Amino acid sequence: MAINFNTANEYNVFVFGDMNLSNTDAEGRVAVGGNVTLSNYGVGAGISPLPPAGTDPSFVVYGNVSVSGGSNASGNTIVNPSSTVINYTMGNPNGALITGTPIDFAETAQYLKCASAFWGNLQTNGTGNILYNQLNLTGTDPTLNIFRFDGTNIYGTGIGLNQLNGINIIAPIDSTILITVNGTAIQYGSYQIFRNGTAASRENARKILWNFPEALTWSNSTTAIYGSVLAPFANAVTTYSQINGNIIFQSFTGNSESHNELFIGELPDPTECLITTSSTTTTSTSTTTSTSTTT
């Protein structure tokens, strides 16, 4: 079994810094290493089977909490004991608002930033070209197909991600797809992603990783992205869009839907990035100190 995202493997959304989202949801688990500001946001409705009541760390926050409405459908909302709960009116039908530190965010961030660079430096074995403004990525390996290009000058064409009218990933359907996009400022356009010539499916997304090892900003407004997104240094802004897979950012703002198609591909293990995991404490109390809210 590949290490892949390590601690973040089971989280639909994993953010090292702050997260500010409204009127949308993450179908899977969510972890936030900074402050969280949410309005009408749902967590965990796509986790099946439903975990035993009060057992699942489905929403973990290390910083301060301001959450209005929404629901954590699958388990506990776990807040750092030193955090301030400014507001919390999210429902917890299968758990509770409790305190604890089940995730070491600093170690996870260090690992994923190193892993992103490691995977970004792997030897490519796939090719790409742009035809009629559609990017075609072609690989033949039955196990792992690796692509790499610059986000603002794809394969030397001068065309950026935001100027395409489609992306077609052509490779054995059961193979893992690793797409590294270089550049500090990433911007998607408005188009469809295909897998072997047909519209990509949520099932296809489980073996695709979009890797952005250099990105400092990352934006998407309308494209449905199929595949996990690893942009560990990026401040991401999304509107009226969706991401199907694990979602890993430095910070995350907007109203993008997060679909719980967790990555099941196998990538080379970045063993030099691994850190000896220290023991962490889990939940210990059933309430947090609130400065102004309904808990």
Write down the pLDDT at residue 283. Answer: 42
Calculate what percentage of the chain has a pLDDT beyond 90.
91
Question: 32 with 133, same domain?
Answer: no
Q: How far, CA to CA in Å, does 274 sit from each of 100, 115, 153?
A: 24, 9, 33
Per-residue pLDDT, 2: 85
Domain boundary residue among 104, 132, 163? 104
Q: Flag whether 131 is in a domain.
A: yes
Over residues 48-55, mean pLDDT: 96
Residues 132 and 225 occupy one common structural domain: yes
Domain boundary among 43, 72, 104: 104
Task: Give tens-digit pLDDT for 216-252.
Answer: 999 999 999 999 999 999 999 999 899 999 999 999 9
| Same domain flag for 26 and 74 | yes
For residue 187, tell me if it sits in a domain. Answer: yes
User: Do 36 and 93 belong together in one domain?
Assistant: yes
Give kind and range of the element (H or E) at residue 131.
Answer: strand 127-131
Average pLDDT rounded to a whole number, residues 102-127: 98
Neighbours of 198 (CB within 10 A): 9
d(CA 289, CA 99): 10
* 67 within some domain: yes
Q: Is the pLDDT of residue 16 over 90?
A: yes
Q: What total number of domains does the chain contain?
A: 2
pTM of structure: 0.93
Residue 276 pLDDT class (50, 70, 90 cuts) = low
Beta bridge partners of 145: 177
Average pLDDT, integer, range 162-187 = 98
Query: Phi/psi of residue 71, each to 5°?
Result: -150, 140
Whether 292 is in a domain gets the answer no
CA separation for the pair 189, 195 (Å, rounded): 18
Pair (131, 265) in one structural domain: yes
Q: Do residues 66 and 128 both lie within one domain?
A: no
- Same domain assignment for residues 179 and 262: yes
Domain extent, residue 36, equals 14-104
100 and 128 in a single domain? The answer is no
Give percent above pLDDT 70 in the chain. Answer: 93
Is 237 inside any structural domain?
A: yes
> Does 71 have pLDDT greater than 70?
yes
Examine the pLDDT at 278 and tell me if it is beyond 50. no
Tell me, yes or no, whether 20 and 72 share the same domain: yes
Does one domain contain both 255 and 138?
yes
Mean pLDDT value of segment 275-288: 46
Give the pLDDT confidence score for residue 286 in this predicted structure: 40
Residues 146 and 21 in one domain: no
- What is the rounded average pLDDT of the residues 267-283? 70
Tell whether 264 and 200 lie within a shared domain: yes
